[in-house]
Amino acid sequence: MDKATRLGVIGAGTMGAGIAQVGATHGHRTLVFDTDTTALERARAALERNLNRLVDKGRIEKSVAGDAYSRTKFVDRLTDLARCGIVIEAIVEDLDAKSQLFAEIEPIVAHECVLATNTSSLSVASISAACHIPGRVVGAHFFNPAPLMPLVELVPGVSTNEDVVAETRALIDAWGKTTVLAKDTPGFIVNRVARPFYGEALRIFEEGIANVPTIDWAMKELGGFRMGPFELMDFIGNDVNFAVTESVFAAFYFDPRYRPSFTQKRLVEAGRLGKKSGHGFYDYRDADAAAVPDTDTELGRAIVDRIVTMLINEAADALFWRVASRDDIDLAMTRGVNYPKGLLRWADEIGVGEVVSRMTTLQNTYNEDRYRPSPMLLRLASEGKGFW
């Protein structure tokens, strides 16, 4: 695949529109299909607005923006995608809908056409099962907003051809993205490894160790994260974040490590979805309601140590189960969710032995399986080794 390859994007929502913009600005003739014509019109207007904004900011030349815009067609017939070399699907997160769509698009395109899915929580295997040639189906998980976020997780299913993975990776790399390879397991890399960022913060709050602004303050000021966990949940939307947690929890056959929180569930039930509804963990309707953190550094350090330890344990376990390589796990968390450091490198800085000792203390304190140290950490600690 190269610039002459036609790109098809199915689903003109948040992700589809963003992916189309990436492809079109990198020279591809891009065809965007959606069953909803108002979504197509919204996506067209958004593309125009975004390209103009990039020109205003001096990020791209006016001619590049004009070319990208004229290269993109918004179509209301799936058959218009017939000559595409790659089609990226970004429709609703529903297996029946995706299976039906893959069965419908496959006979329209050529045998060599790659069919990629942007699914965040379904298995690539289940989607590929709808195709006669399942080897051409691959996961290409972009992050929101697609034009800005550099990471793309490439996810081969059990049936995916190696050539399809290599070609898709080369194409997306040529778009200036950072690609990592992830096993077709729940949450892939980022949505799995990041769970404790929210889950352990909620737990610390629920136990009454610290309040919401204090935990956010500690994670930003002392931990170096760009946003605190509660700010981030409010930003993502508590409904969306809670749904991801529930889906990962169920997909792991209810492993207690991923158990969702009642606090967040109640906020969702009450309609306190976060920024978009004006109220979540924080109240956005009243500027005077600014929450004041307790800036006790000893307490702050304890909060950061506990959440970071749990994140490292999750990253180590992802490596143990060969979800991805050491390098890709660290890349995914720094480029996909802007963590200040790769978690495995962070483990080495703290010392793997110390991480194990912190996990063991948590496990002894709570007597819960949630705090079991990953066998990967135990192995490295006993050998006196680090990850890097």
Ligand X SMILES: NC(=O)c1ccc[n+]([C@@H]2O[C@H](COP(=O)([O-])OP(=O)(O)OC[C@H]3O[C@@H](n4cnc5c(N)ncnc54)[C@H](O)[C@@H]3O)[C@@H](O)[C@H]2O)c1
Specify whether 153 is catalytic. yes
How many chain residues interact with ligand X (CB under 6 A)? 24
Cα dihedral 84/89/91/97 (nearest 10): 100
Residues 183-222 that bind ligand X (CB under 6 A): none
Say which of 118, 121, 123, 191 is annotated catalytic.
191
Say which of 120, 123, 238, 247 is annotated catalytic.
120
Among 1, 8, 11, 314, binds ligand X (CB under 6 A): 11
Radius of gyration of the chain (CA): 22
Instruction: Kindly state whether residue 34 participates in binding ligand X, applying the rule CB under 6 A.
Output: yes
Q: What CA–CA distances, in Å, run from 202 to 104, 174, 212, 215?
A: 43, 39, 9, 9
Neighbours of 39 (CB within 10 A): 17
Q: How far apart are the first and last CA of the chain?
A: 34
* Amino acid (1-letter code) at residue 69: Y
CB-nearer residue toward ligand X: 195 or 203:
195
Tell me how far, at minimum, the Cβ of 34 lies from ligand X, in Å: 4
Q: Supply φ then ψ for residue 363, to 5 degrees.
A: -65, -40
**Class of residue 221 by CB neighbours under 10 A (exposed 0-12, middle 13-18, buried 19+):** middle
Residues 96-115 that bind ligand X (CB under 6 A): 97, 101
Among 90, 299, 323, 356, binds ligand X (CB under 6 A): 90
- Closest to 337 measured CA to CA, from 195, 211, 151: 151
For the record, the structure tokens of 221 come out as 């000021």
Among 49, 56, 92, 382, binds ligand X (CB under 6 A): 92
Q: Supply φ then ψ for residue 17, to 5 degrees.
A: -60, -40
Find the part of the chain contacting ligand X (CB under 6 A) among 7-15, 159-167, 178-186, 248-256.
7-15
Tell me how far, at minimum, the Cβ of 220 lies from ligand X, in Å: 22
Say which of 28, 121, 123, 153 is annotated catalytic.
153
Among 93, 246, 255, 354, binds ligand X (CB under 6 A): 93
Residues 110-169 that bind ligand X (CB under 6 A): 118-120, 141-144
Instruction: Kindly state whether residue 67 participates in binding ligand X, applying the rule CB under 6 A.
Output: no
Find the part of the chain contacting ligand X (CB under 6 A) among 87-95, 251-259, 302-310, 335-343.
87-95
For the record, the structure tokens of 250 come out as 């169920």
Find the part of the chain contacting ligand X (CB under 6 A) among 8-16, 61-69, 297-305, 313-321.
8-16
Tell me how far, at minimum, the Cβ of 40 lies from ligand X, in Å: 8
CA separation for the pair 119, 170 (Å, rounded): 20
Beta strands 7-10 and 151-156, pairing class: unpaired
Close Cβ partners of 81 (under 8 Å, ≥ 6 residues apart): 8, 10, 31, 33, 75, 87, 105, 108, 109
Tell me how far apart the 2 most distant CA atoms of the chain are, in Å. 63
CB-nearer residue toward ligand X: 12 or 355:
12
Among 1, 7, 12, 86, binds ligand X (CB under 6 A): 12
Fill in the DSSP letter of residue 283: B
The rounded Cα 355 to chain-centroid distance in angstroms is 25
In which element (H, E) is residue 50 found? Answer: helix 37-56
CB-nearer residue toward ligand X: 18 or 213:
18
| 3-class secondary structure per residue, 221-279 | HHCCCCCCHHHHHHHHCHHHHHHHHHHHHHHCCCCHHHCCCHHHHHHHHCCCCEHHHCE
Question: Pattern of binders to ligand X over 242-281, x per CB under 6 A?
Answer: ----------------------------------------
Instruction: Kindly state whether residue 8 participates in binding ligand X, applying the rule CB under 6 A.
Output: no
CB-nearer residue toward ligand X: 46 or 378:
46
Tell me how far, at minimum, the Cβ of 212 lies from ligand X, in Å: 23
Specify whether 120 is catalytic. yes
CA separation for the pair 271, 239 (Å, rounded): 9
Among 22, 24, 68, 91, binds ligand X (CB under 6 A): 91
Tell me how far, at minimum, the Cβ of 227 lies from ligand X, in Å: 15
Say which of 141, 247, 279, 374 is annotated catalytic.
141
Binding site for ligand X (CB under 6 A): 10-16, 34-36, 39, 90-93, 97, 101, 118-120, 141-144
Positions annotated as catalytic residues are: 120, 141, 153, 191
